[in-house]
Every structure is written in structure tokens, then in C-alpha cells.
């Protein structure tokens, strides 16, 4: 515990050492162009099936702002959280062709990604079970969403989209949409404090899926070798009751990556294709996503994200930072919502109840060298602030070389 507290206290000091480069600047090592990896919760979703497609078929000011941020930062490898999935990939096509490939006001040159990966997720997919214990399975509205494998009003809501300038080895992609929560070593059925019994009946607990969306290992063939892009979007640790079922699930969704990187017998860790085991010890990776867990502030079981940050295979690096985030966090502090963590490290503004928190992460493996990092959250008086409010989250990026 003392070591963890020391690490947290050192985060603000380490952040001052970040050298934030504009993409395209000469790398520290001559002749080596850094690999820019980013995550962005874009909030490109709709409460109606097909709603995102209809938005993108029109003239979506929201999508234009998201595209402008991407044109400005120009990641080589990118995860978009909260991008509704559809089987025919219409939304992904529209976003690429009508937004990314068209110069946006405040953005930059058109941006084209030759490669992408998207797949079904658990959100909105009905379980046929009474997961919220309201006496019925399914129903309508929020009740229906609560009984899906992951909360959502229709299948594919809050999905994920990976975009890449470099080839993706689709045959070697691993997905963990179907992995049972109870399969995770140490997983614990939430306890109902009123009855002091398990919140989920045993027959339900044995069927529950761990991932609220999915967990993907997407191998990408970059100029620096194959990089395993480990992406996910754990459930928020709120919207539940005293049993803390979402808080427990969030922690265990994060812990899945910790297990995936760790040695030992992992015969339980089987992907949707039936392949079992974790990531080979020599493989390079980048973990990315809205993990919905701040190391010290807000709701959630903070030990889960701290243990991932401190995993021996995860690079020790200065935390990405921004001026706009610091301004926002300090403004909340003046209103009585103070942070224990460094204000420069926040990645989103979640309103007057939660304030600003660090929920979005890009975590490279050891073996890389960090050339720069940042959170795209300009100061309020900066011209780029006009495109930075397309989502309540902000893009996080890192520049890597071998």
C-alpha cells in the first residue's frame, strides 16, 4: 500500500516531464517516426437502432467536431469508444467518407484510415434473464437495457471501432465478448446487503458475461513490428445499488487485462474462437480505452486501475496532461468538487455531480520509448477549444518509438 501511495503522489511531478510533440515533428531518434496511438470516447451513439446511421447521413455537427479533433491530432492507431455497431458497417463507412475524408472547420487535412476493426458487443443484447432483479426479464426502456448482457437500448449501442493506418491481422484478432464473469479467478458474485446473500442466483451468475461491451486483442503490423492493441470499455461503476454490481464488474473488466498480461496457467482465459491463454511474454502491446475508473477520485474500485498501471509489463510513463482539463478541474474545486489527483491529468468533464476525472487511458508496454503524450483539451481561450467539446471525454494520445 505504501508503494501505491508513493506512486500516486509522484504522478503530478512526473507529468511535468512530458514532452508533447505535434505529430510530424522530428522524433528524438533521427530517422524514426513515432507511432501515435490514441483513444477517444466519441459519444457517437443513438438510443434508437440505426439512429447513428441517420445522424451521419445528414450533417452531424457532433461528428464534424470529432472528425476535426482526429484531423488535428492524426493518430496512426485509434480506438473510438461509444460508436454504435451495425452489422453492415454503414456507420463506420459514413463516418470515414463523409467526415474524416472531408476537411473539417478547425481540423486539418482529410484523414483516411485504410484499415479498421469492429465487431459485435454485449450492449443491448438481451440475456433473457432478470439481471436487475425487478421481477421481469426484458421489458422496455431502461428495464430492458438493464437485462441486456451489457447495458444498452439496442444491440450495438456504445460499441467500439478501431481505425489504423497499418494492416490489421484479422485472422489473429481475439475477442472476449462471451467470456463468463465467473471464469475470472477471484471473481465474486455481488452481495445483497439486505439478505446477505448473493445478488445473482447461482444459475444466473454462471451465465453472466464479464465484458459489458467486449475485450479485443487487435494485432497491428506497424513499422515498429506487431503491436497488440488491447481495447475495451468497462461498465461505469455507478447506476446500481448497495450491492455494487457495476463497481465490481468494472474492476473485474479492468482486471481481465491484468490477467491477460500475467504468466501462469490461464486455461480459463478462452476467447470467442476457443483459443485459450494470455498474451505471450515477448509481445508488445498498447492498452487503450475509456476504462471508467480514476486512480483516486470518483466511484469505482481504484485498486483495479492502479494494479494495471503498475503491472510489470506496462511502461512507467508520465501521465498525459492538458491545460483545458486543469482549468476545468480547478473550476470544479472552487465549487466544492475537489480532486485528490492532479487536475492536469483529467480526461473528461462529467458534470456538477462528478466533476472532472481521469477515465481514458493509453498504456504502452515496456520496450517502447515515449516521445510525447497529451490530452486534446485546449485552454478555454485557445482556438482549438471550439472543436474539443464534441464529447464529454477528450482524446488521449501517446507517441512511441522502439
110-157 pLDDT, tens digit per residue, is 999 999 999 999 999 999 999 998 888 878 888 898 999 999 999 999
Rg, the chain, Cα only: 20
For 202-229, what is the mean pLDDT?
Answer: 97
- Compute the distance between CA of residue 131 and CA of residue 143 in angstroms, rounded to an integer: 10
Give me the percent of the chain exceeding a pLDDT of 70.
Answer: 92
Angle at 360 between CA 174 and CA 94, to 5 degrees: 65
Q: How many CA atoms lie within 13 A of 103 on its CB side?
A: 3
Q: 513515432: which residue's cell? A: 34
Task: Please write the tens of the pLDDT for every residue from 158-197.
Answer: 999 999 999 999 999 999 999 999 999 999 899 999 899 9
3-class secondary-structure state, position 294: coil
The pLDDT score that the predictor gives to residue 169 is: 98
The answer, yes or no, to whether residue 323 has pLDDT greater than 90, is yes
- Cβ within 8 Å of residue 31, ≥6 positions away: none
- Compute the distance between CA of residue 127 and CA of residue 279 in angstroms, rounded to an integer: 29
Q: How many residues appear in the chain?
A: 402
pTM over 0.75: yes
The pLDDT score that the predictor gives to residue 2 is: 38
The answer, yes or no, to whether residue 16 has pLDDT greater than 60, is no
* Ranges of each domain in the chain: 2-121+156-401
When the pLDDT of each residue in the chain is averaged and rounded to a whole number, the result is: 92
Query: Which residues are registered as beta bridge partners of 79?
Result: 39, 162
The answer, yes or no, to whether residue 80 has pLDDT greater than 60, is yes
The pLDDT score that the predictor gives to residue 140 is: 86
Q: 465484458: which residue's cell? A: 211
- Compute the distance between CA of residue 182 and CA of residue 105 in angstroms, rounded to an integer: 48
For 196-205, what is the mean pLDDT?
Answer: 94
For 55-60, what is the mean pLDDT?
Answer: 97
Q: 462471451: which residue's cell? A: 178
Torsion of CA 162, 168, 173, 177, to 10 degrees: 10
3-class secondary-structure state, position 337: coil
- Cβ within 8 Å of residue 70, ≥6 positions away: 40, 78, 100, 107, 111, 395
CA 171 to each of CA 70, 92, 117, 217, 296: distance values in angstroms, whole numbers, following the listed order: 27, 20, 11, 11, 39
Where is 284: in which H helix or E strand? strand 284-290
Label residue 11 by pLDDT band (50, 70, 90). very low
Query: Which residues are registered as beta bridge partners of 44?
Result: 83
Contacts 24+ apart (CB under 8 A), 294-297: 294/341, 294/357, 294/358, 294/359, 295/8, 295/11, 295/341, 295/358, 296/8, 296/339, 296/340, 296/341, 297/339, 297/340, 297/341, 297/355, 297/357, 297/358
The pLDDT score that the predictor gives to residue 139 is: 83
May I ask the CATH class of domain 2-121+156-401? Answer: alpha beta
CA 381 to each of CA 362, 386, 396, 397: distance values in angstroms, whole numbers, following the listed order: 27, 9, 20, 22
- Cβ within 8 Å of residue 306, ≥6 positions away: 4, 7, 8, 295
* C-alpha cell recorded at residue 241: 445499488
Amino acid at each position: 500500500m505504501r508503494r501505491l501511495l508513493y506512486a500516486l503522489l509522484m504522478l503530478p511531478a512526473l507529468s511535468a516531464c512530458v514532452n508533447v510533440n505535434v505529430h510530424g515533428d522530428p522524433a528524438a531518434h533521427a530517422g524514426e517516426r513515432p507511432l501515435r496511438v490514441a483513444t477517444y470516447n466519441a459519444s457517437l451513439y443513438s438510443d434508437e437502432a440505426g439512429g447513428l446511421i441517420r445522424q451521419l447521413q445528414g450533417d452531424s455537427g457532433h461528428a464534424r467536431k470529432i472528425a476535426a479533433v482526429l484531423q488535428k491530432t492524426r493518430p496512426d492507431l485509434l480506438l473510438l469508444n461509444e460508436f454504435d455497431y451495425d452489422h453492415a458497417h454503414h456507420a463506420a463507412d459514413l463516418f470515414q467518407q463523409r467526415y474524416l475524408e472531408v476537411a473539417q472547420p478547425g481540423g486539418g487535412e482529410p484523414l483516411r484510415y485504410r484499415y479498421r476493426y469492429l465487431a459485435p458487443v454485449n450492449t443491448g443484447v438481451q440475456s433473457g434473464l432478470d439481471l436487475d432483479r425487478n421481477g421481469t426479464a426484458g421489458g422496455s426502456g431502461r428495464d430492458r437495457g438493464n437485462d441486456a448482457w451489457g447495458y444498452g437500448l439496442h444491440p450495438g449501442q456504445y460499441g467500439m471501432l478501431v481505425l489504423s493506418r497499418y494492416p490489421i491481422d484479422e485472422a489473429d484478432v481475439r475477442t472476449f465478448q462471451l467470456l463468463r464473469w465467473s471464469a475470472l479467478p477471484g471473481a465474486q458474485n455481488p452481495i445483497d446487503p439486505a439478505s446477505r446473500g448473493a445478488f445473482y442466483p447461482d444459475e444466473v451468475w454462471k451465465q453472466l458475461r464479464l465484458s459489458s461491451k467486449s475485450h479485443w486483442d487487435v494485432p497491428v503490423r506497424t513499422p515498429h513490428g506487431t503491436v497488440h492493441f488491447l481495447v475495451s470499455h468497462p461498465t461505469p461503476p455507478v447506476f446500481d445499488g448497495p450491492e455494487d454490481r457495476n463497481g465490481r464488474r468494472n474492476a473485474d473488466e479492468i482486471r481481465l487485462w491484468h490477467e491477460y498480461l500475467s504468466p501462469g496457467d490461464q486455461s480459463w482465459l478462452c476467447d470467442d474462437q476457443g483459443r485459450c491463454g494470455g498474451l505471450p511474454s515477448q509481445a508488445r502491446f498498447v492498452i487503450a480505452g475509456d476504462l471508467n475508473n480514476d486512480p483516486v477520485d470518483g466511484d469505482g474500485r481504484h485498486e483495479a486501475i492502479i494494479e494495471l498501471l503498475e503491472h510489470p509489463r506496462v511502461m512507467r510513463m508520465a501521465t498525459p496532461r492538458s491545460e483545458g482539463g486543469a482549468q476545468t478541474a480547478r473550476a470544479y474545486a472552487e465549487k466544492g468538487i475537489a480532486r485528490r489527483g492532479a487536475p492536469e491529468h483529467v480526461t473528461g468533464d462529467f458534470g456538477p455531480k462528478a466533476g472532472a476525472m481521469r477515465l481514458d487511458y493509453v498504456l504502452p508496454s515496456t520496450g517502447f520509448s515515449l516521445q510525447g503524450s497529451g490530452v486534446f483539451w485546449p485552454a478555454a481561450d485557445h482556438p482549438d477549444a471550439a472543436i474539443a467539446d464534441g464529447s464529454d471525454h477528450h482524446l488521449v494520445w501517446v507517441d512511441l518509438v522502439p
